[in-house]
Structures are given as C-alpha cells and as structure tokens.
C-alpha cells in the first residue's frame, strides 16, 4: 500500500516522541518518588521540589502562607577520634593552673626551707628584710604584667589622617557656597554654552541689541546651571565610583540634595521666565526643552544605551539656535546651520575625551561608545570631523557667510580631520589626547572666522531708492 510523504513524516515524529517518553519514564518515576519521600518526612508543610540544576539540593517549603527556602539535611558527620565530650580524654590532659595576680605565697618562708632540708647539708638562712623586699618586687612585677595591658597611644597626626580617610559629614560654610555653586553648575561647561549662544546671536542678520543680548545670555546661563545641577543630583551614586567626578559637592556631602535642588529651581525658573517674557516665547521654549532633554533623556540614557551621545549632541546644539531665535524671533536655516556646527563638533570632542576615561565610565556603569563600541567611537569622530568641512561650505549657500569662510576655515577643519584620522587608525591615548586638545581651540576659532565672514544685512547693503522722476509732458 502506498504511503504519502505526510504519513511518513507523521510516523517518524511519532517514533521520536515515543523514544523520548520511554527515556524520561525512569526520570519521572524518580521525581515522583522524591516528592513522596519529601512529603512523608514533614507532612505538616506543603512541599514542592524545584527540579533545576542549581536547586537540586534545595526545596521550597510553604508554612502558614510564608515561603521559606532550606537546604536538604546533610548526613551526620562521622565521629572523630577525639571527642570533647569524652571524660576519659579530658582526664589525660594536664591542666595548667591560673596565675593569681596577688602573690602572697609565692616565696615560702625561710623556716620551711630549712625544715625541709636534708640532714647533713648546711643551709644558709636569708635575712628577713631581704625576703620582704624580694616578695614586694615580685608581686609588683606579676600584678603589672597581668593587670596593665599594652596601650597604643595614637598621635594627633595619625588621628587626623585616620579621620580624613573615613566618611564624615561636612559642614557648609557660607564662604564656601560660591565655589560649591560653581562646581554644581559646572561653570566651565556653562561658559561654553553661553559663548555658543552669543555666537548664534551675533551671526543673526539683525541689528545688535545689547539689552536683548545680555538677557538672552543670562537666561541661557541660568538654564544651563539648572540642567547641570539636576544631572549631578541624579548621578551621585555613580559619580562616587569615578575618579573624575568623586569630588563633586553632592558626592562629598558638601551640600545636601535638597539644597542642590533648591539651587536648580532658583536658577531654572527665573532663567526660563527671562527667556520667555523678556526675549520671546520661542527662545523660552527652547531653553525649557534643553533642560528636559539633558535631565530626563540624556542623564538616564547614559546607563542604558550608547544613543546618549547623540542626544547629548542635540542638547549642545540648541544654545546657538537659542541665540539666533533671541535675535530674530524665528527659526531660520542659519540657526540650524549654527546648531549643526555644534552638533558635529561635539563628536570628536567628546569621543576623544571619553576614550581616555573608559575605565572611569566602566566603573560608573555608563554605556559610552568608547566602552562598549570602541570601533564605532573612532569612526563617528572621524565622520563628523570631515562633516565640519561640508557645513562650512554650506554656510555661504544659505547666505549666512561669504564664500571667504569655507576657504579660510579649511586649514583648521582639515587639521582636526587629520587628527581624527590618526585617532581612527591608532586608537591610543596619545592620539585621543591630541584630538581633544585640538577641539578646545577649534570651535572658538571656527565661530570667530564665521563672524568675521558674516554676510552683510540686506537693509544695509541696499542703497536708498532715488525719488521718483516726474513724467514728461508732451509739448504742443
């Protein structure tokens, strides 16, 4: 009789299932016997056997709705040769008598010595006063050795050094608050943010207004202080594991968390209010958005995914856009170009910095490209360094600068691209350090060159129109 392929396949599957069941029957019987034995041992508790490799010697007992985990009782150990409870062994041990600190009968009387002397042997009777002096000296010696232990005297210098190594609560001095606030706000990073916002304001094609410029710079700086303070508030347990951040005020206890949050609110609320009311609502929205991205997106992503670097680059690109919108009140292609400069510049800057801090980031539990994807870290740094050349070429196309800017900015862009290429090829500490230090002066130089090549405003370059001429009349 002819069998179809489906019937053959079903037959093969059935045979395999039957073989597996036959092989597992003894194992199932053994498991059932184990459950019965465990139930017979303690019938008052409901027992379930965990048949897992790492719990083979354990079971779970449920008693009065409480879950307890115990280990299976081991067999009783074999009795050793010498048992401490055996009195016969104890009698064979010679006991050493204790020393009485007060010595009264240590030295026997001279009369006892003479009386016990053997006949025929002459003994010398000591003086009574000498015996009393010897007894007194021996008693003082024994009492001192027993009752006076060795005491280690700690010097003041050693005590101060020991206390410095211990965790202790630090008192806040009013005179130290400015320095603490500066560290809490990351004053150097805040200065860079304000500088980039000022560059965006200066590049806008509008007349310069000193009051709006000052208010927008102040509001941007206050927003940056808020974001940095909240960032440190969230990262205290992780900053304590890193050498670069272990001396921050919240880690050392120089300031309380409530004080730090109060400082952040005292900076953030006036900062966003200034940008919204005194400048324009668009700039205020961008300032609040930047605080949100830095504290609620970038900070938690640092421990979850390497995408935190791209989110952080967006945060760093918003300040020059805020400067442009503070001057013009609208979002134009020139503002996006200024943000693009900051966006691309941050990758060679931060990737080179994080390369030499890989051990620190690893101890802190941060998922940076330099730690988890070192090859990508080098490629991204090189890619965005070359991208700065393309952005510089795009500036005159968008009528932000003249065509002189791509030419005079080409040397510094080529140089940072060359250092990024060396970092990509070698990937050592020296190449990363050179790329990082180059990025420190590259950005101010690039923004200064863009400012010097800024395209004149249209209203300044258009000459005044001549008065309309009178129409000619025909003569009769």
Tell me the domain boundaries of the chain.
23-71, 174-331, 334-456
Q: Is 167 helix (H, G, I), strand (E, B) or coil?
A: coil
Instruction: Return the structure tokens found at 127.
Output: 């003086």
Q: Which fold has domain 174-331?
A: Tetracycline Repressor; domain 2 (1.10.357)
Q: Please report, in tens digits, the pLDDT of each residue of the chain (476 residues total).
A: 444 555 565 566 566 666 765 665 555 556 556 655 655 555 444 444 344 343 333 333 444 444 444 444 445 555 544 444 444 444 555 566 666 555 444 444 444 444 444 444 444 445 555 555 565 656 555 444 444 555 667 788 787 777 766 655 556 677 788 889 999 999 999 999 999 999 999 999 888 889 999 999 999 999 999 999 999 999 888 888 888 888 888 888 888 889 999 999 999 999 999 999 999 999 999 999 999 999 999 998 888 889 999 999 999 999 999 999 999 988 889 999 999 999 999 999 999 999 988 888 888 788 888 888 888 999 999 999 999 999 999 999 998 899 999 999 999 999 999 999 999 998 888 999 999 999 999 999 999 999 998 887 655 444 444 444 434 333 43
CATH of domain 334-456: 1.20.120
Closest to 195 measured CA to CA, from 456, 449, 448 = 448
Q: Tell me if the pTM is above 0.85.
A: no
Most distant CA pair in the chain: distance in Å? 185
Q: What are phi and psi of 218, to 5 degrees?
A: -65, -45
Cα-based angle 219, 222, 224 (whole degrees, multiple of 5): 110
Q: How far apart are CA 380 and CA 143, in angstroms?
A: 79
Q: What is the pLDDT of residue 436?
A: 93
Please, is 196 exposed, middle or buried when counting C-beta atoms within 10 Å of its C-beta (0-12, 13-18, 19+)?
A: buried
């Amino acid at each position: 009789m002819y069998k179809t392929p489906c019937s053959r396949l079903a037959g093969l599957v059935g045979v395999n299932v039957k073989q597996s069941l036959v092989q597992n029957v003894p194992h199932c019987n053994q498991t059932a016997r184990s459950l019965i034995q465990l139930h017979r041992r303690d019938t008052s508790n409901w027992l379930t056997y965990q048949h897992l490799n790492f719990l083979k010697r354990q079971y779970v007992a449920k008693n009065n709705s409480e879950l307890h985990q115990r280990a299976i009782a081991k067999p009783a150990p074999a009795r050793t040769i010498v048992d401490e409870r055996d009195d016969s062994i104890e009698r064979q041990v010679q006991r050493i008598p204790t020393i009485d600190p007060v010595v009264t009968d240590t030295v026997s009387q001279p009369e006892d010595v003479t009386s016990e002397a053997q006949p025929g042997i002459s003994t010398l009777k000591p003086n009574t006063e000498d015996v009393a002096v010897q007894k007194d000296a021996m008693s003082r010696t024994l009492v001192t050795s027993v009752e006076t232990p060795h005491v280690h005297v700690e010097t003041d210098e050693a005590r101060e050094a020991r206390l410095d190594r211990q965790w202790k609560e630090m008192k806040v001095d009013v005179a130290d608050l400015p320095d603490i606030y500066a560290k809490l706000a990351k004053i150097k990073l805040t200065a860079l943010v304000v500088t980039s916002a000022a560059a965006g304001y200066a590049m806008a094609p509008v007349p310069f207004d000193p009051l709006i410029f000052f208010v927008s710079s102040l509001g941007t700086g206050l927003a940056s202080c808020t974001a940095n303070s909240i960032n440190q508030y969230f990262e205290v347990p992780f900053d304590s594991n890193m050498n670069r951040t272990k001396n921050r005020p919240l880690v050392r206890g120089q300031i309380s968390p409530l004080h730090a949050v109060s400082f952040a609110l005292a900076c953030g609320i006036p900062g966003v209010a200034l940008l919204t009311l005194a400048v324009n609502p668009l700039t205020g929205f961008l300032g609040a958005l930047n605080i949100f991205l830095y504290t609620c997106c970038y900070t938690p992503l640092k421990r979850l995914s390497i995408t935190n670097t791209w989110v952080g680059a967006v945060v760093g690109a918003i300040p020059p856009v805020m400067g442009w919108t503070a001057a013009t009140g609208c979002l134009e292609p020139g503002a996006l170009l200024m943000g693009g400069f900051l966006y691309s510049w941050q990758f060679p800057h931060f990737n080179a910095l994080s390369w030499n801090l890989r051990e620190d980031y690893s101890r802190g539990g941060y998922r940076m490209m330099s730690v988890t994807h070192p090859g990508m870290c080098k490629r991204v740094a090189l890619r965005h360094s070359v991208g700065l050349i393309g952005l510089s070429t795009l500036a005159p196309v968008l009528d932000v600068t003249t065509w002189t800017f791509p030419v005079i900015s080409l040397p510094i862009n080529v140089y940072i691209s060359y250092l990024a290429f060396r970092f990509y090829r070698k990937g050592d500490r020296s190449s990363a350090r050179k790329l990082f230090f180059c990025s420190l002066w590259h950005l101010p130089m690039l923004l200064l060159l863009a400012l010097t090549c800024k395209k004149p405003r249209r209203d300044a370059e258009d000459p005044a129109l001549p008065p309309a001429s009178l129409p000619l009349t025909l003569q009769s």
